[in-house]
Amino acid sequence: MNRTNLVLHARTSIERGSKSFSRASKLFGRQTRERAWLLYYWCRACDDLADGQDHGHGMSAVANPDKTIAAMRMMTARAHGGEQTGNPPFDAFGVVAQECNIPKKLADDMIDGFALDARGWRPETEDDLLQYCYHVAGAVGCMMAIVMGVSARNHEVLDRACDLGLAFQLANVARDVAEDAQAGRCYLPQKWLAEAGIDSDHILEPDHREALVGLVNRLCGLAEEYEASARVGASSLPFRSRWAVLAAAGIYGDIARAIRKSDGASLDHRIYTSKGTKLGWIVKAVGQALINPARRDRQGLWTRERTV
């Protein structure tokens, strides 16, 4: 499949898989937009393969998760090396990786996150949770920064890009606590649960609800910290990329803010942001993109240097 057709498939994928990212991506210049779609197409496909889903919906058991992860690694390595795999999402990754010189380590780091899920991993500490968030989202943030023209050697900006991925994933975890629990998963750190007196295998018990809402809100607070840090890094990007990133930060950040305001309702139904709210952030982000934010030290935040 040629690049033009891969871009068309990638556009369809992002429109089906994420209304928020799809809207924000349209703010990029054409070349960056197409590359962002190509990268998303591969990320979405890997996520779906790992979770037995279709564009993030309908989670089902994967018959042989280790074999699935191994195939994912093999096709990603081939695509990164410039080979045609015959699998469109992976060929899409090959195109954008070649065009932007995306380091293979970042792709490997993302797949490592799916490998954690495949073996039923659960975080013991907050650092463990943030490490997981790096694998499945922070590494993607770094790749997106490179797509936007950031050098792979510019660690300061990549750290901020990673922070945005962490913010997005923390919001995801907060939003999906009940859904994950029903699927036998739990991304709340075991240490948090123990301190709150919550049985990690029965977190949805009515007796735990008040304490669980407190932990969900704690996740939302972390998401807001990393979102604020990421906004500083956006000032290093070209205007249209800065606009897109700030719009995405606001749109996705509103998920965490809505969860916190819901006072536990997020445990009963999925939290969404409205089309009007998304459009509002696209307008608001124009003004934000014109103003350099106050510098904000990353001291105390998790760092990619802890990745092993």
| Number of domains the chain contains | 2
Do 91 and 224 fall within a single domain? no
Last residue of some domain: 101, 130, 157?
Answer: 101
On the question of pLDDT at 161 being above 60, the answer is: yes
Do 305 and 236 fall within a single domain? yes
Do 177 and 241 fall within a single domain? yes
Strands (E), 28-155: none
In a domain, 116, yes or no: no
Do 281 and 136 fall within a single domain? yes
Last residue of some domain: 37, 66, 101?
Answer: 101
Which has the closest alpha carbon to 164: 214, 262, 83, 232?
232
User: Which ranges of 176-208 would DSSP assign to H, the alpha helix?
Assistant: 177-182, 190-196
58 — pLDDT class (breaks 50, 70, 90): low
CA distance 252 to 236: 20
Do 58 and 127 fall within a single domain? no
Average pLDDT score over the chain: 92
Do 154 and 53 fall within a single domain? no
Least-confidence region, from 159-163, 215-219, 277-281 = 277-281
Domain limits for position 166: 122-308
Identity (one letter) of the amino acid at 36?
A: A
In a domain, 117, yes or no: no
Arithmetic mean of pLDDT, 11-34: 92
The 10 Å Cβ neighbour count of residue 188 is 25
Do 8 and 143 fall within a single domain? no
Kindly report, residue by residue over 182-238, the tens digit of the pLDDT.
988 899 999 999 999 999 899 999 999 999 999 999 999 999 999 999 999 999 999
Do 217 and 262 fall within a single domain? yes
Do 294 and 205 fall within a single domain? yes
User: Looking at residue 295, what is its pLDDT?
Assistant: 77
In a domain, 67, yes or no: yes
Do 97 and 128 fall within a single domain? no
In a domain, 106, yes or no: no
In a domain, 179, yes or no: yes
User: Looking at residue 135, what is its pLDDT?
Assistant: 96
Which of helix, strand or coil describes residue 53?
coil
User: Looking at residue 308, what is its pLDDT?
Assistant: 46
Question: CATH no. for residue 277?
Answer: 1.10.600.10
On the question of pLDDT at 61 being above 90, the answer is: no
Percentage of the residues of the chain whose pLDDT score is greater than 90:
79
Do 132 and 267 fall within a single domain? yes
CA distance 276 to 100: 34
Least-confidence region, from 56-70, 75-89, 176-190 = 56-70
Do 90 and 155 fall within a single domain? no
